[in-house]
Amino acid sequence: MKLTYEGHACFILESGGHSIIIDPFLKDNPLARIKPEDVKVDAVLVTHGHFDHVGDAVEIAKNNNAPVIAPFELVNYCTEKGATGHPMHIGGAHEFPFGRVKLTIAFHGSTADAGAVGSPCGFLVTMDGKTVYHAGDTALFSDMSLIGPVDCALLPIGDNFTMGVEDAVKAVGLIKPRIAVPMHYNTFDVIKQDPEEFRRGLEGSTTEVRILAPGESTEV
């Protein structure tokens, strides 16, 4: 599976001729290297309603005739804006043509310009036997130990709105992924972090930390 970081919490996953995008915050993201119109995907996954995650989801879904996959209330918000959608909810999994998606809990909020749009989530995405866990925006929680097995965990380290470095290091200890990629940092001043601190925190661990620059890809 090819995993590409597009800055903040946005990733593109590609495998077996299929591709999906998660949390496509591009147009208003100072770190993003691509535009919504450049994105060619089979589905658009969104963890919660905050602007830095919903971002350009509706536009990308419409351009690609691809469904928005998200918690029920957030899908309703996107379909009211003209996208198609596949509603899911926490704990549920579904097989799509591109792979399997399961929604996990995330401890955070989920509002959009319409108000509350349900619960936030994380995603477990399995494509061709490889599983990526996108934690969404969340605090550390001990039930992370129930998530998995995970090949690659995408974890927020920005602090203030989500886990910081110290808790993200603990999260890796609970999830025990093969690879961990930090996200949700340096987009705004309030979430400035040194990702090398995350790497140092995991020295001696069996998990390999990969720090990706926006636009950079890695093989999972």
Number of residues that bind Mn ion (CB under 5 A): 2
- 134 makes contact, choosing from Mn ion, Ni ion, none, with CB < 5 to 8 Å by partner type, with none
Supply the minimum distance, in Å, between the C-beta of residue 48 and Ni ion.
6
Supply the minimum distance, in Å, between the C-beta of residue 41 and Mn ion.
20
Residue 137 lies near Ni ion (rule: CB under 5 A):
yes
Q: Which residue has the tokens 């603990």?
A: 170
Evaluated on CA atoms 105, 109, 5, 85, the torsion sign reads positive
C-beta closer to Ni ion: residue 137 or 167: 137
Supply the minimum distance, in Å, between the C-beta of residue 55 and Ni ion.
11
- Report the b/e string of 1-31 with b at 16+ CB within 10 A: bebbbbbbbbbbbbbeebbbbbbbbbeebeb
Terminal-to-terminal C-alpha distance of the chain: 5
Supply the minimum distance, in Å, between the C-beta of residue 29 and Ni ion.
13
Contacts with Mn ion in 22-61 (CB under 5 A)?
A: 52
| Strands 43-45 vs 68-71: parallel, antiparallel or unpaired | parallel
- Give the per-residue contact string, 43-82, with Ni ion (x = CB under 5 A; - = no): -------x--------------------------------
- Give the per-residue contact string, 105-134, with Ni ion (x = CB under 5 A; - = no): ------------------------------
The per-residue DSSP string of 91-160 comes to: T-EEEETTEEEEEEE--S--EETTEE-S--EEEEEEETTEEEEE--S----GGGGGS---SEEEEE-B-S
- Give kind and range of the element (H or E) at residue 4: strand 2-5
- 56 makes contact, choosing from Ni ion, Mn ion, none, with CB < 5 to 8 Å by partner type, with none
**Contact region for Ni ion (CB under 5 A) — 37-45, 70-78, 136-144, 175-183?**
136-144
- 130 makes contact, choosing from Ni ion, Mn ion, none, with CB < 5 to 8 Å by partner type, with none
Alpha helices in 81-144 (DSSP H): none
Per-residue CA distances from 109 to 50, 99, 207 (Å) = 8, 27, 29
Out of 14, 42, 137, 167, point to the residue binding Mn ion (CB under 5 A): 137
Supply the minimum distance, in Å, between the C-beta of residue 47 and Ni ion.
8
> Considering just the CA atoms, what is the radius of gyration of the chain in Å?
16
Q: Which residue's CB comes closest to Ni ion?
A: 50
Q: Which residues bind Mn ion (CB under 5 A)?
A: 52, 137
Q: Which residues bind Ni ion (CB under 5 A)?
A: 50, 137
